[in-house]
Amino acid sequence: RIMPEETTSRPHIVTCTAPVNIAVVKYWGKRDEDLILPISSSLSVTLHQDQLKTTTTVAISTSFKVDRMWLNGKEEDITHPRLQSCLREIRRLARKRRNDGEPDSTESTGLSHKVHICSVNNFPTAAGLASSAAGFACLVYSLAQAFGVEGDLSGIARQGSGSACRSMYGGFVQWIMGNRDDGKDSIAQQVEPESHWPELRILVLVASAKRKPIGSTSGMQTSVQTSVLLKHRAESVVPHRMDKMIKAVQKRDFAAFAEITMKDSNQFHATCLDTYPPIFYLNSVSQQIIHLVHRYNGHYRESRVAYSFDAGPNAVIFTLQQHVPEFVRVVQHFFPPDTNGEDFIKGLPVKGAAISEELKEAIGLEPTPNGINYIISTKAGPGPCIIEDSSQHLLSPDGFPKKVTGSNPS
Ligand code: DP6
């Protein structure tokens, strides 16, 4: 809330953080491009912010002339239509709240205020990890705090980037597609909190290839226009798969979770190949990881590990805590890093482990040196958070960036 004295002098400043999420039932295809309404529901796991997060500071003041934004230290164009949608929707909610009986003046809802936005990621942009979900979730959450708006904000984050609506909650989150034309029922909901499955671990295998693949927005547009497989997937596969996935999560049934996750990732990439002209997101390292996972699981006659790939070559691995040391060792054996060391594994510490000759033989791949840059070891985590410590603000008390900062690669 904005105190009256603040409206005339210093900017009102808030800082929040928001997480990355990885879909295990993928979103691909829109039925409305402007409102960002999907052709099917999806489900994701929110990753822990200790490893991957966006931090955003929003300052609002009557003394600012125009809305402005800085991303990873560089001023960006604020007229971006999706950014404008989020700003407009938050201001609309603030106005609604005022008209719904808050007797305070326009001043208290900040409607006459311009905003300054400053945002950074704690992971390198070069890693090719989707940052738009965390970025828009953080933007919407921080704007809502600054303008004193409450309630479900996933419908607003969705209008920034579809997958961003799922980053508004922690743990296991579904985005219900909805069927209204105005999109009011296309929102995210938490299925289970992050505490529900404490043994679940997530390893992000950051691929070395840096070629920028075709973006999700235009990729899925071409898929909707040309892929009959995508139509079949949305109508006849995803509804059933969502039910099965929700049950697998609720029961903490890893084998079922793993099978649906891998099949869904594969079907998503199959719809990309069915798109005309076709879209390829997987490279030869991705393919080797797919083989490696199936042979690893085959060796143990049990699904211990699952892979998932988004619109790029990075593999996201889901497994249980007890299998992490051995599996990481296997990855390191088949994708030996130059730097032979600590730098290969970032995030949650991973214990050393030995691997048997039988296991190496069962996998039987030719090692690919430096095929994987590094691994980020993480787990499921909470949704957006408010940072109370004002020394963490990215904007100084006058509402301008404190210092020029890039992404922090540590
Ligand atoms: C493959 O949310 O980035 O990661 O709504 O156009 O911004 P827009 O697309 P975006 O698409 C994400 C696609 C995906 C699958 C997923 O996260 O569900």
* DSSP element (H, E) containing 38: strand 37-38
Mark whether 241 and 228 lie in a shared domain. Answer: yes
Mean pLDDT score, 164-182: 98
- Does 397 reside within a domain? no
Mark whether 72 and 217 lie in a shared domain. Answer: no
Mark whether 181 and 211 lie in a shared domain. Answer: no
CB burial class (10 A; 0-12, 13-18, 19+) of residue 357? Answer: exposed
- Does 404 reside within a domain? no
Mark whether 156 and 281 lie in a shared domain. Answer: no
Mark whether 172 and 212 lie in a shared domain. Answer: no
Determine whether the shortest distance from the Cβ of 205 to ligand 1 is under 6 A: no
Residue 112 has what pLDDT? 80
Binned at pLDDT 50, 70 and 90, residue 119 comes out as: very high
Question: How many domains is the chain built from?
Answer: 2
Which among 280, 270, 259, 262 is positioned nearest to 229, based on CA atoms?
Answer: 270
Q: Which ranges constitute the DSSP H helices of 275-397?
A: 284-300, 324-334, 357-363
Residue 98 has what pLDDT? 80
Mark whether 328 and 235 lie in a shared domain. Answer: yes
pLDDT at 408 over 50: no
Nearest-atom index, ligand 1, CA of 217: 6
Nearest-atom index, ligand 1, CA of 158: 5
Q: CATH number for the domain including 239?
A: 3.30.70.890
Residue 2 has what pLDDT? 52
Q: CATH number for the domain including 185?
A: 3.30.230.10
Mark whether 291 and 356 lie in a shared domain. Answer: yes
Nearest-atom index, ligand 1, CA of 42: 18
Distance from residue 311's CA to the centre of ligand 1 (Å): 8
CB burial class (10 A; 0-12, 13-18, 19+) of residue 399? Answer: buried
Which among 94, 104, 76, 101 is positioned nearest to 144, based on CA atoms?
Answer: 94
Mark whether 113 and 234 lie in a shared domain. Answer: no
Determine whether the shortest distance from the Cβ of 275 to ligand 1 is under 6 A: no
Beta-strand relationship, 37-38 and 42-46: unpaired
Residue 105 has what pLDDT? 47
**pLDDT tens-digit readout, 217-257:** 999 999 999 999 999 999 999 999 999 999 999 999 999 99
Determine whether the shortest distance from the Cβ of 27 to ligand 1 is under 6 A: yes
pTM, full prediction: 0.94
- Does 356 reside within a domain? yes
For residues 295 and 355, what is the distance between their CA atoms, to the nearest angstrom? Answer: 14
- Does 388 reside within a domain? yes
pLDDT at 8 over 70: no
Residue 103 has what pLDDT? 56
Number of H helices, E strands in the chain: 12, 17
For residues 174 and 189, the answer to whether their CB atoms sit within 8 Å is: yes
- Does 88 reside within a domain? yes
Determine whether the shortest distance from the Cβ of 26 to ligand 1 is under 6 A: yes
Mark whether 294 and 257 lie in a shared domain. Answer: yes
Mark whether 387 and 372 lie in a shared domain. Answer: no
Return the best residue to mutate from 85, 156, 163 for the ligand 1 pocket (most ligand atoms within 8 A of CB).
Answer: 163
- Does 398 reside within a domain? no
- Does 47 reside within a domain? yes
Residue 197 has what pLDDT? 98
Residue 6 has what pLDDT? 45
For residues 43 and 46, what is the distance between their CA atoms, to the nearest angstrom? Answer: 10
**pLDDT tens-digit readout, 60-105:** 999 999 999 999 889 999 999 999 999 999 999 999 888 886 655 4
Place of tokens 């949704």: 383
Q: Find the domain containing 50 and state its range.
A: 4-193+383-392
pLDDT at 142 over 90: yes
pLDDT at 13 over 80: yes
Return the best residue to mutate from 168, 216, 217, 267 for the ligand 1 pocket (most ligand atoms within 8 A of CB).
Answer: 216
For residues 274 and 263, what is the distance between their CA atoms, to the nearest angstrom? Answer: 16
Mark whether 265 and 282 lie in a shared domain. Answer: yes
Determine whether the shortest distance from the Cβ of 281 to ligand 1 is under 6 A: no
Residue 338 has what pLDDT? 86
Determine whether the shortest distance from the Cβ of 264 to ligand 1 is under 6 A: no
Place of tokens 């990890």: 129
Single-letter code of the amino acid located at 73: G
- Does 403 reside within a domain? no
Distance from residue 9's CA to the centre of ligand 1 (Å): 41
Determine whether the shortest distance from the Cβ of 161 to ligand 1 is under 6 A: yes
pLDDT at 107 over 70: no
For residues 379 and 387, what is the distance between their CA atoms, to the nearest angstrom? Answer: 21
Mark whether 142 and 272 lie in a shared domain. Answer: no
Determine whether the shortest distance from the Cβ of 36 to ligand 1 is under 6 A: yes
Binned at pLDDT 50, 70 and 90, residue 131 comes out as: confident
Distance from residue 159's CA to the centre of ligand 1 (Å): 12
Binned at pLDDT 50, 70 and 90, residue 281 comes out as: very high
pLDDT at 145 over 60: yes
Nearest-atom index, ligand 1, CA of 164: 2
